[in-house]
Amino acid sequence: MNTPSKKYDVGYCRPPEHSKWKKGQCGNPARIRKRPVKSVATMVDEFFAREIEIVEDGVALRRSGFEIIYLQLSKKAMAGNTRALKVLTKYSDFAASRDPKGGMKVEWIDDDTSPIKSGEKNGCL
């Protein structure tokens, strides 16, 4: 049997001293994050600004994420979905808070209440 010696025995499961990991050293240096972590506001801005290709009435269009969500919510709100209407107003308030000019203005227009001029037939000139 081997007697314990002051010299370190190198062998199976006993790497040389110079190639051992130092205390606190990571075994996989590739997993260390090399870029700073993004803030939540930055990630939300990137998500809403990202352009996605959609097909609307047979035509391929590129729209921003915010615009797609806003259009879908407005369609559901016009169909009578009260939850979609509440979320739509929150998105409108969010957009208004992010825009230094005061945001967007949302107006609901009802065609039945508009007066018809004398020269118009069925709303057309």
Q: What are the pLDDT tens digits along the chain (125 aa)?
A: 455 556 778 888 888 888 888 887 777 777 766 778 888 888 888 888 899 998 988 999 999 888 898 889 999 999 999 999 999 888 888 777 776 665 555 566 666 655 555 555 555 44
Measured CA to CA, the distance from residue 106 to residue 93 in angstroms comes to: 10
What pLDDT does residue 14 have? 87
- Residue matched to tokens 């107003």: 89
SS3 75: helix
| E strands present in 24-107 | 51-56, 59-64
What pLDDT does residue 83 have? 94
What pLDDT does residue 5 have? 54
